[in-house]
Structure 1
Amino acid sequence: MLEKMSVHEAVGKRLAHDITEIRPGEFKGTAFRKDHTVCDGDICHLQKLGKNHLYLLDMEKDEIHEDQAAKMLAKSLAGTGVEWNDDPREGKITLHAAYDGILSVNVSSLAAFNMIEEVMCATRHNHTLVKKGELIAATRAIPLVMKKAPIERAASIAASHGTRTINVNRLQSLKTGLVITGNEVYDGLIEDGFAPVLSKKIHDLGSPVLNVEYVPDDSSRIRQAILKCLDSGCELLILSGGMSVDPDDVTRTGIREAGAVEMYYGSAVLPGAMFLVGYINETPLLGVPACGLFHRITVLDLILPRIMAGEHITKKDLAFLGHGGLCMNCKPCMFPQCSFGKGV
């Protein structure tokens, strides 16, 4: 229950909540913190903020204050790799990455959480690469005072999926083997451009390139190169070229002959429709089509961090990339500060 009084009557009383100040284009933040004791010198400032009346709280046993609610919600939402400060501001708590990694949001759980009346949580896009300390989400209870029951229900939803709703997964350092296919490169007719491009992407994500093998368009030679990389200890394989519908493109045949029993060809992404994800035992294998040589950003840049975060990519994952999977080829390219790959 709230007891209303004028600011003059509130002198000597403690504020029941943070009071926000906004100066357009200049400042938005807390002018007075919760539990601040109002004094005569505050009256003019409060009135300038539009506060001619303040309120005292007299809460029932089944009610909860916004700050306590925010703490309960943050604790339930935050999983592995997520940290937060137990100090709500204006009833809100922000969640941050505890280390470098890839953001993992249970989108269904988040939606169910936000369906509960009087609570909210907003996050950055799922599968976003984040740095230690970066803001990844924020949550709050919307009213100043509310019943405990919906807060407890929302907290239960947020924590009911084992890994909680919001996590940051560390990127693993995977020893990577590159297999560059194509007669034109193998015979020295053109200079290879794939190995430098792929190596940079791998190194930028903190993994080493262990092997680089060059092979002609021969499925048996491709198979041998794959097995050689595996024997040398590679934990991830990336093959370039040979992914199109041209009969000479036999890379997929070589991958299958090397023992891939789980293989998904085709993604709902442009550029990168002829992308391939496969597994030989538990070792992931990625097939990069020719577009990876022309475009700076392709489907590989969406999938590679997820592989290095330990995800097992399936056909469903490739299909769900369709929403947001159309690159607009902007000049200059602004990825990742754009909509590409942000649908799921």
Structure 2
Amino acid sequence: MIFGDMTPDEAEGAILAHSQKAGSETFKKGRVLSRADIAALKEAGVSHIVAARLEETDVPEDEAAAALASALAGKSIRAAAPFTGRANLVAEEAGVLEIDAERILAINMIGEALTVATLATFETVDERQMLATVKVIPFAVPRADLDKALEVARLGPAPIAVQRFEPHRVGLVATQLPSTKESVLDKSRAVLDDRLGAMGSRIARELRVPHTAHAVADAVRALAKEGLSPILVFGASATVDRRDVVPAGIVQAGGDILHFGMPVDPGNLLLLARLGETPVVGLPGCARSPKLNGFDWVLARLLAGLEVTPKDIMAMGLGGLLKEIPTRPQPREGASAAASSPRIAALILAAGRSSRMNGPNKLLLPLGGKPMVAHVAEAVRASSASPVTVVTGNAESEVRAALSEFDASFVHNPDYAEGLSTSLRAGLAALPDDVDGVLV
């Protein structure tokens, strides 16, 4: 790719590297300059521009991004149409994201032009969620580099795939001590119902039994005979050893303890076992809470049909610190409840002159039967941002009328003609002192 300073006569067919004003018109970065564009530049007195000209060995940015994204996209993933050198990969179904990290790294090591950014492997993802993006940094990629990247991407199954959640009929064993309250078991069951429901599964049968190895063994065997899988065991007291009540009961039932403990906090005391082909999980106490914990990671993989091995459990330590622990300083401890829910205000900047529209105020133009600025206000109202402040300037009375039904305060910017920064300054000055942030 040839890149650098050019005269307009040299730039026909080249790609504009930076936005350039030509009289009353502004040519945006990335524009392929036509003969008419060259004439307009010359007429405006532009003598030099910075542009790029592709060579035969170059692949244009959108074409390269689309090709690599398509090669990376595996099961239940859609490669979206490219734009400005970017192509996104989007989940077509909810599930667990699988990524061949070595191949993604290999592609990113090929050269500067091609980049691939992804979510973390084994992350739980929703339908239509963006999973990865391919971005071409310059305006083109050397064909040799693209060919290398495509070769890596096509070396085996696609490097990025979603293993979708499959509906499971799950078995639950809850043990009880004489002091165990039914309300505690009910709440634990409700939290588990929500977890499973979010992934398309449900508890088909729950057995509440005494907290003894023999009772656990009978219950696990009974649920396995009914074909329920996985089987989850809530112990009335935490499992602290492989020979404790819950693991001992699984072994009495004929099962095998695969791994006890995990390098994830919260979630350290998870137990992974198997009875025949049926996964059995001894739940850590934190699974009674809806907050993210290590059990969530194991459950998601199981419901997506992925095997979970002891090695998988031990590998969860990287990124496995999900909360602060008592043995290190906790600067946020003792903060007020309000600190966990910051107060975020909203500023709607509606003072501009719409000079690029050459006449009408774009915020007052009708869109879907209402002024465009009303759509902005509706989006803000649908959020939790509060308070909402509208900065007016040009066409102040018309803007106020367009937003008359919205609960917002107004501040006028008399210096609106001097640019957006003056409206931002006026809006920020009007905010209450107790807001923690502002959405503009």
TM-score (normalised: structure 2):
0.64
Contact kept in structure 2, 1:14 and 1:34, CA below 8 Å: no
Q: Summarize the Cα distance change of 1:261–1:39 in structure 2 as closer, same or farther, 3 Å threshold.
A: same
The 5 A counterparts of 1:92-131 are: 92-118=86-112, 119-131=114-126
Name the residue aligned to 2:383. Answer: none
Q: CA deviation at 1:82?
A: 1.2
Of Structure 1 and Structure 2, which has the larger fraction of its residues in helix? 2
**Partner-residue secondary structure (3-state), 2:161:** strand
What is the SS of the residue equivalent to 2:217? helix
Q: 1:249 to 1:38 in 2, by over 3 A?
A: farther
Higher alpha-carbon Rg: 2
1:47 deviation in Å? 10
Aligned to 1:27: none
Partners of 1:127 and 1:140 in 2: how far apart?
A: 22
Two-structure CA RMSD over aligned residues (Å)? 3.3
Aligned to 1:194: 188
Alignment of 1:92-171 (within 5 A): 92-118=86-112, 119-160=114-155, 162-171=156-165
Q: How many Å apart are 1:319 and its aligned residue?
A: 1.0
Query: Is the contact between residue 15 and residue 32 of structure 2 (CA under 8 Å) also seen in structure 1?
Result: yes
Structure showing greater relative contact order (alpha-carbon pairs closer than 8 Å, 6 or more residues apart): 1
The Cα of 1:234 is off from its aligned counterpart by 0.6
**1:26 paired residue number:** none
Distance 1:47 1:313 in 2: 67
Deviations 1:134-163 (A, max 9, x none): 211111333434432222112221221x32
C-alpha distance in 2 between matches for 1:315 and 1:72: 37
Q: Report the more deviating stretch, 281-290 or 303-312.
A: 281-290
In structure 1, the residue matched to 2:9 is 9
Q: What is the DSSP-based 3-state SS (H/G/I as helix, E as strand, rest coil) of the residue aligned with 2:268?
A: coil
Aligned to 1:326: 321
Q: Which residue of 2 aligns with 1:52?
A: 49
Whether the 8 Å CA contact 1:10–1:38 is kept in 2: the answer is: no
Give the distance between the partners of 1:281 and 1:14, measured in 2 at CA.
67
Question: Equivalents in 1 of 2:68, 2:244: separation in Å?
Answer: 53
> SS at 2:64's partner residue?
helix
TM-score for both structures, normalised by structure 1: 0.80
Q: Give CA-to-partner distance per residue, 1:271-329, whole Å, 9 cap, x none.
A: 11110111222211111122333573321112211111111111111111112211225
- Where do 5+ consecutive residues of structure 1 fail to align? 22-29, 334-344
The yes-or-no answer on 1:172 pairing with 2:166 is yes
Residue 55 to residue 201, structure 1, CA distance change in 2 (3 Å): closer
Letter in 2 for 1:130: V
Query: For residues 191 and 70 of structure 1, do their structure 2 counterparts lie closer, same or farther at Cα, with a shift above 3 Å needed?
Result: closer
Task: For residues 28-70 of structure 1, give each alpha carbon's deviation from its aligned partner in whole angstroms, at most 9, with x where no partner exists.
Answer: xx946655636349649x999xx8233443424xx43333322
User: Take 1:164 and 1:274, find their aligned partners in 2: how far apart are those partners?
Assistant: 35
State, as a whole percentage, how many aligned pairs show the same letter. 25
SS at match of 1:111: helix
| Residue matched to 2:264 | 269
The corresponding residue for 1:37 is 34
Contact 2:233 2:283 in 1 (8 A): yes
Are the counterparts in 2 of residues 69 and 140 from structure 1 also a CA contact under 8 Å? no
Q: 1:169 to 1:42 in 2, by over 3 A?
A: farther
Q: Greater shift after overlay, 239-248 or 317-326?
A: 239-248
Question: Structure 1 residue 116: deviation in Å?
Answer: 1.1
> What CA deviation, in whole Å up to 9, does each residue of 1:88-121 have, x standing for no partner?
2222211111222222112222112211113210
SS at match of 1:196: helix
Per the alignment, residue 219 of structure 1 pairs with: 213
